[in-house]
Structure 1
Amino acid sequence: MDSIDEVLGELPLPPYVTAEDVGFAVKALAVHAAEQWPDGPRCRNDRAPHPCRLHRWGQRVLDQRGLTDRQVQVLIAEQQAPQR
């Protein structure tokens, strides 16, 4: 965990997870994905040690919603697909 994470702590979860929260969580996982650096995996977006706060929040939201890893991967792929 990064030192800023120790100060700020975890982002709070919503009281109940809506479809809109799922959309935000999928976006958080897609944008804050891991990228390999010489000192280990870092967030692609903010270069914090991976998983960063927003990635962890997104994963916790999707876990609370009961989505499997496979379902999450499908949602991320759908979001990253070109819009027609």
Structure 2
Amino acid sequence: MGPIDDLPLPPHVTTADVVLALRAVTVHAPERPNGERCRKDEAAHPCQLHRWGRRVLEQRGLTDEQVQRLMACGTVAL
């Protein structure tokens, strides 16, 4: 799977989109830290929803470090 079948990004990323994206990235994580499969849907990792979540967060301007911190504390502080 790749860019051709990726889900479309919202035209304007809102806080609600960021919350959904964080959930997608968290739930659709690899089975193990270096896993090749999504632990939620068993698709090749990164699966479609994980890629969408990462793209939304990137479009919002969040760095990987910021995403990791938000995921670790389980909150969105934007």
- Asked if TM exceeds 0.5, the reply is yes
Q: Which amino acid is 2:21 matched to?
A: A
C-alpha separation in 2, matches of 1:69 and 1:11: 20
In structure 2, the gaps of 5 or more residues are none
Indicate whether 1:75 and 2:66 are aligned: no
Q: Which has the larger radius of gyration?
A: 1
Which of the pair is proportionally richer in strand? 1
Indicate whether 1:63 and 2:53 are aligned: no
Indicate whether 1:20 and 2:26 are aligned: no
Deviation at 1:15, TM superposition (A): 0.4
Q: Which amino acid is 1:34 matched to?
A: P
Picking from 17, 30, 34, the partner of 1:34 is 30
C-alpha separation in 2, matches of 1:35 and 1:27: 16
For 1:11, the equivalent position in structure 2 comes to: 7
Superposed CA offset, 1:23-59 (max 9, x none): 00000000000114xxx61001000000000000000
How many percent identity over aligned positions? 60
In structure 1, the gaps of 5 or more residues are none
Deviation at 1:9, TM superposition (A): 1.1
For 1:46, the equivalent position in structure 2 comes to: 41
Compute the TM-score of the two structures, normalised by the length of structure 1. Answer: 0.79
